[in-house]
Structure 1
């Protein structure tokens, strides 16, 4: 039998919280399985909370307070733990980021940008500096590193099964120089070719479709209910209501039906990368600019 691993409660607020949870559970003589009985969560989920590796959802905190008879202790303090974990990502994305590391499957919709774990440094820099041109270089570098650290989501063989629907404008409207865009799209295609994720392109002429708004992604787990995360420019929301999650999933299924097939989408990504690399995209852009000028001058 593996030796029991002690928890260092001084390592972080989540570790302190988890250690207290384990102590209370063991004090009343409950196993992990007995403690989660009657909740929607699995044994591994609770174990990771006790080790400071996972956040405590509010509904599970209420369940543990009831089971352990702790008078609301864990319910009152789970928000404190969440606040203590702030770092280089936006506060509203922190919980989703943590859940991402435990997801079994991820399905994503992006109307304007490539998914974060697929982004290379020039693309990441372009996004960061577009939001805040005065961002200190040391912070930019740290944010780039933090985002590249998420590459495992799409590139690790042990990562979640992933599906991404991307709007065609992501391929046609570059946010970095053409050579960097060529490298970026070639990277996306290479990851897809290794069967690490399935891409679908929603064409510009698709008309009205679900999710005509900000990015959305779904996460399903082996030991917890599914979740939806939606994000706008300066806000994000995690949704766990089963009925609402189901409606989002149904809408996503309709979105996938409106998108091009994975095989056609992958060829389109590869062609876009080639066009940026050989100058075709720049030439088309110049022809379009000249046509617009002629139209404006009535010639």
Structure 2
């Protein structure tokens, strides 16, 4: 009997690879937990591979071929499924983000990607590496704008962002860029497309002083938390870790301004940028 055919790169390799994994696992009579035990990972990790929210790494592909007897199928095809227009450290998070039903995020240093304007995104990317060629910057900005299309859907995902006041006062790209960026955020809030709160400087010490926080809920997989640093990123699905970070986000919400007061502050800062009166 012939084995599974290689994936067509023009299709959705990640989804097809996940579907083939589910088929092969069920054919072998294994549950997600049982297969996970053989790979020394959790059953939820296998579920995320099957749902396409996790990238299949070569080491796991090799083990899957050995355990499931798939004749090297996963090793041959994990490369096609791994292709992404995003940086390596962020690719998995971006793909999980695209399938999320709810996203909760705290941004301490900058306006997060889903709320950025093209000009703000360009200024941020250029600040990361002033020597990056224009063509590369254009490509990255385009990728960021493609992510923002998630918000074209009027209801999904639910986006709840707590912005640090410091990020709104950090002049990125110039006053005109900041004015546009803040008016864009206010517009999303007024159209009920995003829940936006500002954590004021007057709040003092808070639960997420160690860094950014991003939680994602998924329809067919356990919730995820994404940790990010300079040039690095990691997805985590450990239930205890996710629960702890969700509690931290709840504390941030409790310390932040109400939606109404947050919108008033964003409007005032945008007005200040417009009149060059921002301190």
**TM over 0.5, yes or no?**
yes
TM-score by length of structure 2 reads 0.80
Tell me the distance in 2 between the aligned counterparts of 1:250 and 1:203: 19
Match of 1:92 in 2: 89
CA contact (8 A) 2:100 2:157 kept: yes
Candidates 113, 116, 134, aligned match of 1:116: 113
Alignment of 1:142-221 (within 5 A): 142-221=139-218
* Per-residue deviation, 1:236: 1.4
Match of 2:40 in 1: none
Match of 1:260 in 2: 257
Secondary structure in 2 matching 1:165: strand
Candidates 233, 254, 260, aligned match of 1:236: 233
Tell me the distance in 1 between the aligned counterparts of 2:209 and 2:94: 23
Secondary structure in 2 matching 1:134: coil
CA contact (8 A) 1:199 1:265 kept: yes
Tell me the distance in 1 between the aligned counterparts of 2:8 and 2:250: 45
Tell me the distance in 2 between the aligned counterparts of 1:19 and 1:258: 43
Alignment of 1:1-299 (within 5 A): 9-11=7-9, 14=14, 17-18=17-18, 20-21=20-21, 24=24, 28=27, 39-40=43-44, 46=50, 49=52, 54-55=53-54, 70=68, 77=75, 80-81=78-79, 84-87=82-85, 89-281=86-278, 285=279
* Per-residue deviation, 1:10: 3.0
Tell me the distance in 2 between the aligned counterparts of 1:223 and 1:246: 18
TM-score by length of structure 1 reads 0.75
CA contact (8 A) 2:111 2:168 kept: no
Q: Are the structure 2 counterparts of residues 44 and 133 from structure 1 closer, same or farther at C-alpha, using a change threshold of 3 Å?
A: closer
What runs of 5+ residues in structure 2 fail to find an aligned partner? 35-42
CA contact (8 A) 2:178 2:273 kept: yes
* Per-residue deviation, 1:23: 6.3
Kindly provide the CA deviation profile for residues 168-220 of structure 1, in whole angstroms up to 9, marking residues without a partner as x. 01222211211121111101100110001111111112111111133221001
* Per-residue deviation, 1:84: 3.1
Q: Are the structure 2 counterparts of residues 8 and 269 from structure 1 closer, same or farther at C-alpha, using a change threshold of 3 Å?
A: farther
* Per-residue deviation, 1:19: 6.8
Secondary structure in 1 matching 2:231: coil
Q: Are the structure 2 counterparts of residues 172 and 218 from structure 1 closer, same or farther at C-alpha, using a change threshold of 3 Å?
A: same
Q: Which has the larger radius of gyration?
A: 1
Secondary structure in 1 matching 2:68: coil
* Per-residue deviation, 1:90: 2.2
Q: Are the structure 2 counterparts of residues 224 and 83 from structure 1 closer, same or farther at C-alpha, using a change threshold of 3 Å?
A: closer
Q: Are the structure 2 counterparts of residues 125 and 246 from structure 1 closer, same or farther at C-alpha, using a change threshold of 3 Å?
A: same
Tell me the distance in 1 between the aligned counterparts of 2:55 and 2:135: 32
Moved >6 Å (runs of 4+): 41-45, 72-76
Task: Let me know the Cα RMSD of the aligned residues.
Answer: 3.6
* Per-residue deviation, 1:80: 4.5
